[in-house]
């Protein structure tokens, strides 16, 4: 029995409505079809790249830097939660503060948001603001903070075309406390209700895809 639940990391794809009326947008339908293909065949079209690899390699360092910034001994969350609509595994959960913290490792100086408006724009463009609403819903929190952090790229990740000076030396010259920019996202229950509606619509299309294939 196939059951559709949207991952928090992909929630932003389901939010746009169909142009000119009700229903799922083309972006949302495409996202549903990808999930259906994974459930049916175990296939996924994205298996990572150098940007996600850097984030995975430096995740522990990022969490430590987030902790130092706040004076808290933070640790990686390993619990996955779900409800009737969504599923997710946040980076950091601070129960004493009802707070979610998510770390995003930038690739280089050019892509790192050093300025608050730049960070807010980047979070919204990437859909991280919607992702945080999902986490706050699952963990019953009132606030989420997105930490964009910049570390030197590990030397072994650089290709022969990448300059170590650009990706390592220039970054190391910047004080570490200047290499973390935080975006605050407050819980928005109206937006969470909209997420429910969009995922309900996605469930219907998902079931139609599964039934069409299984017929």
Task: Give backbone dihedrals phi and psi of 109, rounded to 5 degrees, phi first.
Answer: -60, -40
Q: Which candidate, 176, 45, 54, places its Cα nearest to that of 111?
A: 54
Q: Which residue in the block uniquely carries the two structure tokens 């619990």?
A: 79
Query: What CA–CA distance (Å, rounded) separates 151 from 171?
Result: 7
Name the fold adopted by 59-193.
Lambda Exonuclease; Chain A (3.90.320)
CB 54 within 8 A of CB 157: yes
Is residue 21 pLDDT above 70, yes or no?
no
**pLDDT tens track for 102-148:** 999 999 999 999 999 999 999 999 999 999 999 999 999 999 999 99
Percent of the chain at pLDDT exceeding 90:
89
How many Cβ atoms are within 10 Å of 200's Cβ, its own excluded?
13
The full set of domain ranges for the chain reads 59-193
Query: What CA–CA distance (Å, rounded) separates 118 from 48?
Result: 25
- 102 forms beta bridges with 146
Under the banding of pLDDT at 50, 70 and 90, the label for residue 26 is very high
Helix (H, G, I), strand (E, B) or coil at 42: coil
Task: Give backbone dihedrals phi and psi of 148, rounded to 5 degrees, phi first.
Answer: -85, 120
Alpha-carbon dihedral angle through residues 144, 58, 114, 146, given to the nearest 10 degrees: -10
Is residue 176 pLDDT above 90, yes or no?
yes
Q: What is the pLDDT of residue 215?
A: 83
Q: Backbone dihedral region of 75: left (phi > 0), alpha (psi from -120 to 50 degrees) or beta?
A: beta
Residues 182-201 have a mean pLDDT of: 97
Q: What is the pLDDT of residue 5?
A: 94
**pLDDT tens track for 32-84:** 999 999 999 999 888 889 999 999 999 999 999 999 999 999 999 999 999 99
Q: Which residue in the block uniquely carries the two structure tokens 């996600």?
A: 52
């Amino acid at each position: 029995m196939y059951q559709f639940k949207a991952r928090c990391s992909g929630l932003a794809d389901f939010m746009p409505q169909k142009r000119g009326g009700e229903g799922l947008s083309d972006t949302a339908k495409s996202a549903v079809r990808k999930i259906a293909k994974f459930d049916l065949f175990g296939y996924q079209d994205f298996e990572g790249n150098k940007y996600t690899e850097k984030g995975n390699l430096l995740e522990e360092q990022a969490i430590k830097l987030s902790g130092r910034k706040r004076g808290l001994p933070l640790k990686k969350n390993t619990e996955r939660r779900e409800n009737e609509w969504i599923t997710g595994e946040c980076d950091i959960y601070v129960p004493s503060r009802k707070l979610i913290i998510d770390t995003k490792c930038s690739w280089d100086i050019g892509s790192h948001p050093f300025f608050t408006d730049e960070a807010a724009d980047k979070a919204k463009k990437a859909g991280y603001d919607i992702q945080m609403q999902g986490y706050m819903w699952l963990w019953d929190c009132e606030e989420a903070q997105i930490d964009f952090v910049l570390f030197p790229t590990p030397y072994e990740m650089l290709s022969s075309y990448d300059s170590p000076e650009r990706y390592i030396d220039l970054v190391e010259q910047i004080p570490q406390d200047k290499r973390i920019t935080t975006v605050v996202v407050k819980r928005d229950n109206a937006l969470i209700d909209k997420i429910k509606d969009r995922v309900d619509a996605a469930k219907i299309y998902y079931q139609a895809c599964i039934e069409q294939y299984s017929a």
